[in-house]
Structure 1
Amino acid sequence: MQPAPAVFRFAPSPNGELHLGHAYSVLVNHRMAREAGGEFLLRIEDIDQARCTREYERQIEDDLTFLGVDWDVAPRRQSEHFADYAAALEALADAELIYPGFMSRGEIRAFAQRYEDDEGTRWPRDPDGAPLYPALDRDLSSRQRERKMRDGERFAWRLDTAKAVAMLGTLTFAETGLAPEAGGGEVVAKPLEWGDVVLGRMETPTSYHLSVVVDDAVQGVTHVVRGRDLFPATSIHRLLQALLGLPVPRYHHHELILGPDGRKLSKSAGDTAIRALREAGLGAEDIRRMVGLPAAPPAGSLSRESSARG
């Protein structure tokens, strides 16, 4: 029996144009997939309906084609699969592992500031630098929660991370990108560093953390290749995989393309888009050189056991 093919994916959000950081990530990802004789998938992470547009989605596909990147099946669009995420959220609710958190981001920041002013010590932050959720409403009674929800108070479904960790114990995942001194090898997950993360909202039955692990399982993804800025988030993803009984991919977190000021590139900061570089007359090989990659191999020179299925 032939072993199942390796499955890789690139999962951009269509809320802006791709920049050089995306170009590096997708080119590394695509080459690894083809050298492994595996499948390469394109996923459109568009759960944020307020910011994501089909125009940006079309631009993403056009830019990837320009770079010489192809994918093996039609892209999965997250906005078409809310039922999958709602089912996962319901499973966590049935296990009493989520609760409605009623504090807004502004209220969380204000709470952390008051704590720091009163106590003279820093309120804990997550790996991205945001204050951890105070979880003051984690211990509300069912009646109190229902009253708040009935009164229309806005809330987000949050994971009771400490309860989940106590249930499962130590979890690990395989990291092939970062060197051992940077966190590579067999990595012990540290989900408690994130506190009680958001898994769903009133208007959307999911969040990035929940949808990404559900999608990877549904699509049979075996290898996740992405920037090292997402390495800490893998701890939460590993916890959710264990809670939901989902398979665990191998992870490969690569270095980032940085701007002249040393920060990572960002859509919101208006960093140079691939489209703009194309309009300036640069070709795909020029972009490969700009991100430090060798010239593309001749067509057909990469091993590929799976055929394109459109």
Structure 2
Amino acid sequence: MAFIASAREAEINAAARMREFGFGDAQATPIGADGGVDVRSSRAIAEVKWKSAQAGRPEVQKLYGARGTKHHLQLFFFAAGGFSKGAVQYADETDVKLFTYDPNGVVTPANRIATAFVHRLRSEEAERRRLADQKRADAERERVKAAQASQEAEQQRRSEEEERKRRSASPPHAHAAPPPTTDVFAAQRAQIESELAAQEKREAKRRETEAAQAQRRIHEYNKRMVELHRQNEIRSRGKIPTSAVTVVFLWFLVVVLSIVLFIFAGGAATGWFQGGPYGEAAMVTVVLLVMASPFAFLLRGILRSLKRREIL
């Protein structure tokens, strides 16, 4: 889908994602009062939030209440700004699948229920592909066996036809010994069987490679989901996920600013207490006060930023 630029486009994108999840009749509800439901299907309903702020627990509760007594309906919630910690906890308790989406329409699971749901879909898709490959391999083996049987029957028919022609062309009193026969069919059978065995080996190797690749993709996907879930938990606590390098750099700025303020304060104190010219001491004090205000403001801002950060 193109770049999402409106709430309606977000609803249409959510309906498309639900159809990919297996809800083939999912459609965005008409514009107007929707009763807290933006996408409907015969087996699921969904709410879509197109805003930068996090969706909270009351909004997830509203979706749960919109289902009413139709307990067979699965619940989905799509939000661009993520979910609060309370919303994630309530969704895990009530089997509501939470997803975030970016402006390009790519959705990402945001709670344990949604992650397990996506993992199950991927496993089922991998199993369907494996069964389809197995079915194709079985059909190919049957085709080769049928071709082998047809070839043997045709060879047998030709041999019998040649034998009848030879006997009809020989005099009635001639009883020559039949020519020695060679096991042509056995050689052909061995060749076809070797081809079948080689093909089965290639199919088995291909299936093993695809299974290993699928397991690797699932492992990478689960690792990414765990990292995203951790970042969402950090954001739900009002923190900013960041790296250790950033935190060290901010602490370095705190130390440097503190040292600079200490040096200016020491110079002013030296000028006053050692009996130097009062004019110079007063000038140093004025410079200290002028420099101290922005330095103190910057230092306060950096310390507040450090309190809001959490190292990943």
TM-score range, shorter chain: under 0.3
Point out the structure with max Rg over C-alpha. Answer: 2
Report the structure, 1 or 2, having the larger helix content: 2
- State the TM-score, normalizing by the size of structure 2: 0.19
